[in-house]
């Protein structure tokens, strides 16, 4: 089981979780948890203890790099609005003018009747009532009246992690080859010969297709006698190749050399991949 396949089992659940997060700390925690589960599932399928340790180092780098991932956050802002209806101004104005008229009448009556205390008291009442018409100072809005919501760009984050998992799968093939070479496994004795034949295959792939076919068949037969196979580039075998960007076409520059029995990588291939295609380096 590859790292990418283990990651796919966690991807959908993580995507749903990210849509519910509204802080960077929660996003980082969710991604690290998904990577940790992916690591555990992948290591459980590995029997090579050395390779398990190497994969543990790779995943530790991947989990540490989560903090440095570019995480665009979409923001939305809203302010609470009062739905209270304001009364019509016409009725309110009439209610305010009526007391003024009554106070004036009372003051005039006291004035003509020589009731000094009465008309002074009416004048004071009129002044205080007039002061009540001054505009009131509106209170400052409450803190919870303004709310900002953050939403991470889940698709962009997940596509970056997709690329990381494919890179780890390529490292698995390289580490397996290097570990077997250091241990002196049987097929490592053919590694030097596979490299030489790979160089010949690279030269053959540079020839036009009609002239290339008999030469390629001869080299394929030689590899077959050694228990090896030359694999051209495709979407399924991309993890066995070092890819170079191309503006015009996708083609194999040099095939990958693998063991026929277990598809173990002996020599990484090289391919030119069209830039606007859906290929992955």
DSSP state of 148: E
pLDDT band of residue 17 (cuts 50, 70, 90) is confident
Domain boundaries, the chain: 1-74+153-183, 91-131, 186-281
Average pLDDT, stretch 232-244?
87
Give the orientation angle of helix 49-64 with respect to helix 24-44, to 10 degrees: 170
Confidence band of 191 (pLDDT split at 50, 70, 90): low
Q: How high is the pLDDT of residue 183? A: 64
102 Cα distance to chain centroid: 73
Question: Comparing 89-93, 119-123, 216-220, 263-267, which segment has the lowest mean pLDDT?
Answer: 89-93
How far is it, in rounded angstroms, from Cα 212 to Cα 200? 11
Residue partners of 66: CB distance under 8 A and separation at least 6: 28, 31, 32, 35
Average pLDDT over residues 237-249: 86
Contact at 8 Å (CB) between 53 and 181?
no
- Is the pLDDT at 82 greater than 70? The verdict is no
Between 120 and 187, name the one with better pLDDT: 120
3-state SS assignment for residue 144 = helix
The dihedral sign for the CA sequence 41, 43, 46, 47: negative
pLDDT tens for 215-237 read 888 888 888 888 888 889 998 88
The β-bridge partners of 230 are: 257
Report pLDDT digits (tens) over 124-178.
Answer: 777 766 666 666 665 555 554 555 555 667 788 888 888 888 888 888 888 877 7
Q: What global pTM score does this model have?
A: 0.47
Q: Is 70 exceeded by the pLDDT of residue 27?
A: yes
């Amino acid at each position: 089981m590859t790292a990418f396949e283990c990651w796919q089992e966690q991807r959908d659940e993580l995507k749903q979780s990210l849509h519910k997060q509204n802080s960077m700390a929660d996003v980082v925690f969710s991604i690290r948890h998904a990577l940790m589960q992916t690591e555990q599932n992948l290591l459980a399928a590995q029997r090579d203890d050395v390779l398990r340790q190497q994969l543990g180092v790779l995943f530790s780098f991947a989990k540490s790099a989560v903090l440095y991932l570019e995480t665009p956050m979409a923001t939305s802002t809203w302010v609470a609005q009062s739905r209270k209806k304001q009364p019509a101004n016409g009725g309110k104005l009439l209610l305010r003018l009526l007391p003024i008229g009554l106070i004036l009448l009372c003051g005039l009556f006291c004035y003509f009747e020589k009731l000094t205390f009465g008309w002074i008291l009416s004048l004071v009442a009129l002044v205080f009532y007039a002061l009540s018409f001054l505009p009131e100072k509106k209170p400052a809005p409450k803190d919870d009246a303004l709310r900002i919501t953050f939403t991470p760009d889940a698709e962009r984050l997940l596509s970056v992690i997709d690329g990381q998992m494919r890179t780890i799968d390529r490292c698995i093939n390289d580490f397996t080859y290097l570990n077997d070479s250091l241990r002196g496994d049987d097929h490592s004795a053919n590694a030097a010969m596979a490299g030489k034949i790979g160089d010949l295959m690279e030269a053959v792939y540079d020839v036009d297709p009609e002239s290339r076919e008999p030469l390629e068949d001869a080299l394929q037969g030689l590899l077959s006698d050694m228990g090896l196979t030359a694999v051209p580039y495709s979407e399924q075998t991309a993890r066995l190749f070092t890819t170079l960007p191309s503006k015009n076409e996708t083609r194999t520059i040099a095939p990958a050399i693998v063991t026929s029995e277990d598809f173990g990588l002996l020599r990484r291939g090289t391919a030119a991949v069209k830039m606007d295609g859906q290929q992955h380096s």
